[in-house]
């Protein structure tokens, strides 16, 4: 299987077409961004670590019977993945208050939520990825009721599995973002990435942040922290 042309390139990943019509190769870049990409940096080794964590998590979800695009790792910062048509919706699952929910509702960061909170945003950078509900999604032709229900149900399962997995390595899963797409045969699968760039993690013993918030809020080095998270996951899986 050989890479051919670039299918798409974002701030943090490049997706390559291959000579196999069913698969792509995704390369994770060393770029890290924050605040709608206004703050940006290149941090050597970051792509390798987000790739590794996402591979471990997607592989774990595959092993638990959830369907993801992940097939196998490809070198240090690449993955062979099923080719998907991305659904332009991001599902956000929250277990405790952090980030935008803190600002929206004026509650202290870290406030426990009585139960997981699901949010949806329309994946559209020009519109700053606005929050939508299932009515918006269906009425605007972004995703049908059936599709949003399926995505939310799977996201809840992912949340349960990952809360348990991360708790076993002493880490609280505060919140995360997840995306979905369709493979050529019409199967809905989890796509994009699940990594410290797309989740919030707190170290249970000292409350230390172990995710992209370290970069967002200048809390120090991210490579050491991402590496520590990777090491703990590798031991657990």
Which one of 3-11, 99-107, 158-166, 228-236 is the stretch in contact with ligand TMP (CB under 6 A)?
99-107
| Closest separation in Å from C-beta 49 to ligand TMP | 15
Q: In this structure, what token pair is assigned to residue 88?
A: 């332009």
| Closest separation in Å from C-beta 20 to ligand TMP | 29
| Closest separation in Å from C-beta 198 to ligand TMP | 4
The Cα–Cα gap between 22 and 185 comes to 10
The Cα–Cα gap between 103 and 215 comes to 19
Query: Could you say whether residue 200 binds ligand TMP (CB under 6 A)?
Result: yes
Residue nearer to ligand TMP on the CB measure, 147 or 175: 175
The Cα–Cα gap between 173 and 176 comes to 8
Query: Could you say whether residue 92 binds ligand TMP (CB under 6 A)?
Result: yes
Q: Percent helix, strand and coil across the chain, each rounded to 5?
A: 30, 35, 35
Query: Could you say whether residue 74 binds ligand TMP (CB under 6 A)?
Result: no
Question: Nearest residue to ligand TMP, using CB?
Answer: 99
Nearest one of 218, 180, 193 to 29, comparing CA atoms = 193
The Cα–Cα gap between 190 and 210 comes to 23
Query: Could you say whether residue 100 binds ligand TMP (CB under 6 A)?
Result: yes
Nearest one of 120, 127, 123, 126 to 100, comparing CA atoms = 120
Q: Phi then psi for 101, rounded to 5 degrees? A: -70, -30
Of 59, 88, 99, 116, the one binding ligand TMP (CB under 6 A) is 99
Of 199, 210, 229, 233, the one binding ligand TMP (CB under 6 A) is 199
| Closest separation in Å from C-beta 92 to ligand TMP | 5
The Cα–Cα gap between 171 and 208 comes to 10
Residue nearer to ligand TMP on the CB measure, 18 or 86: 86
Over its C-alpha atoms, the chain yields an Rg (Å, rounded) of: 17
| Closest separation in Å from C-beta 98 to ligand TMP | 6
HSE-up of residue 201 (Cα within 13 Å, Cβ side): 30
Query: Could you say whether residue 198 binds ligand TMP (CB under 6 A)?
Result: yes
Subset of 166-195 contacting ligand TMP (CB under 6 A) = 175-177
Query: Could you say whether residue 59 binds ligand TMP (CB under 6 A)?
Result: no
Query: Could you say whether residue 45 binds ligand TMP (CB under 6 A)?
Result: no
DSSP annotation of 125: G
Residue appearing with tokens 């490049």: 14
Interface contacts to ligand TMP, rule CB under 6 A: 92, 98-101, 175-177, 198-200
């Amino acid at each position: 299987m050989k890479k051919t042309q670039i299918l798409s390139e974002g701030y943090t990943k490049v997706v390559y077409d291959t000579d196999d019509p069913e698969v792509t190769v995704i390369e994770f870049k060393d770029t890290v961004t924050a605040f709608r990409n206004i703050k940006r940096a290149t941090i050597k080794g970051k792509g390798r670590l987000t790739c590794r964590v996402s591979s471990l998590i997607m592989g774990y979800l595959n092993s638990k019977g959830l369907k993801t695009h992940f097939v196998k790792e490809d070198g240090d910062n690449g993955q062979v993945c099923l080719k998907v048509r991305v659904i332009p919706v991001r599902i956000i699952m929250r277990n405790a208050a952090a980030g935008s929910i803190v600002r929206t509702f004026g509650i202290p960061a870290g406030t426990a939520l009585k139960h997981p909170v699901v949010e949806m945003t329309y994946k559209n950078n020009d519109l700053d990825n606005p929050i939508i509900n299932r009515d918006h999604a269906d009425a605007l032709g972004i995703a049908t009721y059936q599709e949003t229900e399926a995505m939310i149900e799977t996201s809840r399962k992912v949340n349960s599995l990952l809360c348990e997995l991360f708790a076993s390595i002493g880490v609280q899963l505060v919140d995360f973002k997840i995306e979905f797409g369709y493979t050529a045969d019409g199967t809905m699968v989890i796509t994009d990435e699940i990594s410290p760039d797309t989740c919030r993690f707190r170290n249970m013993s000292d409350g230390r942040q172990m995710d992209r918030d370290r970069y967002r809020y200048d809390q120090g080095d991210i490579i050491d922290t991402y590496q520590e998270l990777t090491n703990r996951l590798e031991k657990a899986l």
